[in-house]
Amino acid sequence: MKLKIIILLVVLVLLVVSNGYGAVLRGKIVLANSGGKPVVNAQLSAFGANPGVSTSAGLFQLDFPGKNPGDVVMVVFQKQGFEVINKKDLERVVLRQSPDEVLEIVMCPEGEWQKNALAYFGIAAKAINEEFDKRLKKIETEIIGGKEAEIRRLTEERDAALAQAKRMSEEFAQVNLDEASDLYKEAFGYFTKGDIDKASVVLNKEKLDRAFKIVEKEKKKAELRVKAALEAGKQLAKDYVLGARLLKVKFRFVEAEGYYDKALEADPENLDNYQEFIAFLLNQNNFQKAEEVCDKALSIKMDDGAKAILLNNLGILYKNTARLKEAEKAYLEALKIRRQLAATNPSSYLPDMARTLNNLGILYSDTTRFTEAEKAHAEAREIYRQLVAAKPSAYLSFMAATLNNLGSLYHSTMRLKEAEKAYADALWRFIVNWRQPIPPRIYQLWPPPSTTWGIYIRIRRALRKRRKRMSKRWRFIVNWRQPISPRIYPMWPTPSITWAY
């Protein structure tokens, strides 16, 4: 019984670990106003991560195997005799995209935060009451009529200032002066001595405005440098991609892969480079690396059309590695996006939607879910009928391949009459378009030569060899825009003969 419980717990842990791609939270714990002194042996805990302890340098790392970058987590930091003062930073901890981004935690001895806040409030309250007494005396000596209204207004202003001073003192207590500017430290030093006037002089508007102009100038220079660096990175990525293409011509595929890796590092936002690299890896049967690149591409900002392309490729990758449930999920998500896009812009996105439907139909056929497969292929067929009516030269071959898929499906389910009709219709569609080359992209979308697509290619080869000798049967084909004549079906070869013809 105990063994079963242990096995069950192990399985649950593995499920949690496998749910997501994993994320890491790195950071540092320092002591407030100490010159950056680290806090050692602080206890760290978070749901979904193993507990940890800060090192002698105050560093920590929490691994979240069930989370992804961008997820929000709750982290607890504890050390006996100490407390966290930058609690606002812990209200919403976002797992970082880059491992170089660190979370800084500031701690102080327990009770010191409240003690400092109270002291700061006392300083502010004293300055407020002194200002109140000064103005009250002026009202009493200079104003003859309406003193009560003025005194009441002044009292309300004092009460509002005291309420603001309470919040201000709490904010002051949370400031780590180690990270403050020299100007801030100087003004804050005068404040702690109760000399508000000198603190205000240090922070006078003219001085701050001059500093602001300097900062803006430096910011613009930095922006220009960053822009120039980004442009240089984009150009360097193009150079790497060109180098990879040339290496592929020489069959130096390992070196080409390294060039693609560098291209992504140089320009990490270029989706075209991701797509080309993924296609290269799929052709090399390097499915593990292709999946890694797909996941990395999905983490960057992109429009829905680009995301659908990546999801469709991810579905192909999962199918090739026999991860059929994940392939279905990727295809369905791509289909959902493309269906939404096609609703607003059909001319641009209907072809993509039909391709995903065909991929999904093939997946369902491979898993003997023939009803769902037929539904997907039938919807793709209707889409291609619309597209062929508008632009036959571009979509006839895709239409024929979809009909071929349907014929194969019907044949697998022993619906031979429907299979014969679909195969014959596919052959008809191809005959009227035999002068057009097969689109290169189609090889990436349909099954290998041992299945439906191989039949399709053999039809093309047979037609090339024997097109001059096919006279009597071809005379029926007088207008490809009209549906195939019923007279053709009785004299058309049966499926077992057609492909040897």
Helix ranges (H only) for 271-303 are 271-283, 287-298
Hey, do 2-109 and 204-299 end up sharing a CATH topology, with the first three levels equal? no
User: C-alpha angle with apex 170: 169 to 172, nearest 5 degrees?
Assistant: 65
Q: Identity (one letter) of the amino acid at 103? A: L
- What long-range pairs does 51-57 form, CB within 8 A, spacing at least 24? 54/29, 57/28
CB neighbours (10 Å) of residue 149? 11
Domain ranges for the chain: 2-109, 112-202, 204-299, 303-498
Tell me which fold the domain 303-498 belongs to: 1.25.40
Rounded to two decimals, the pTM is 0.47
Q: For residue 78, what are the β-bridge partners?
A: 43
What would the two tokens of residue 43 be? 């206890």
Position 47 scores a pLDDT of 82
Q: State the distance between the two ends of the chain, measured CA to CA, in whole angstroms.
A: 65
Strand, helix or coil at 355?
Answer: helix
Q: What are phi and psi of 182, to 5 degrees?
A: -60, -40
Query: DSSP state, 104?
Result: E
Q: Identity (one letter) of the amino acid at 454? A: G
Q: For residue 62, what are the β-bridge partners?
A: 25
Helix ranges (H only) for 143-204 are 147-173, 182-192, 196-202
Helix H or strand E encompassing 25 = strand 23-31
Its sign, for the CA torsion 265, 267, 270, 276, is negative
Position 488 scores a pLDDT of 39
Its sign, for the CA torsion 140, 141, 142, 144, is positive
Tell me which fold the domain 204-299 belongs to: 1.25.40
Alpha carbons 430 and 436: distance in angstroms, whole number: 9
Residue segments in the chain with a per-residue pLDDT below the cut of 70: 1-21, 99, 420, 423-501
Q: What are phi and psi of 493, to 5 degrees?
A: -60, 150
Query: How many C-alpha atoms does 433 have within 13 Å on its Cβ side?
Result: 23
Position 461 scores a pLDDT of 54
Strand, helix or coil at 323?
Answer: coil
Position 6 scores a pLDDT of 43
Query: How many C-alpha atoms does 214 have within 13 Å on its Cβ side?
Result: 6
Pick the CATH number of 2-109 from 3.40.50.2000, 2.60.40.1120, 3.40.50.150, 3.90.1150.60: 2.60.40.1120
Q: Where do we find the tokens 């309420």? A: 163
Summarize pLDDT for 29-39 with one digit per residue, the tens.
Answer: 999 988 889 99
CB neighbours (10 Å) of residue 451? 16
Q: Where do we find the tokens 């020299």? A: 182
Cα torsion through 146, 152, 153, 157, rounded to 10 = 150
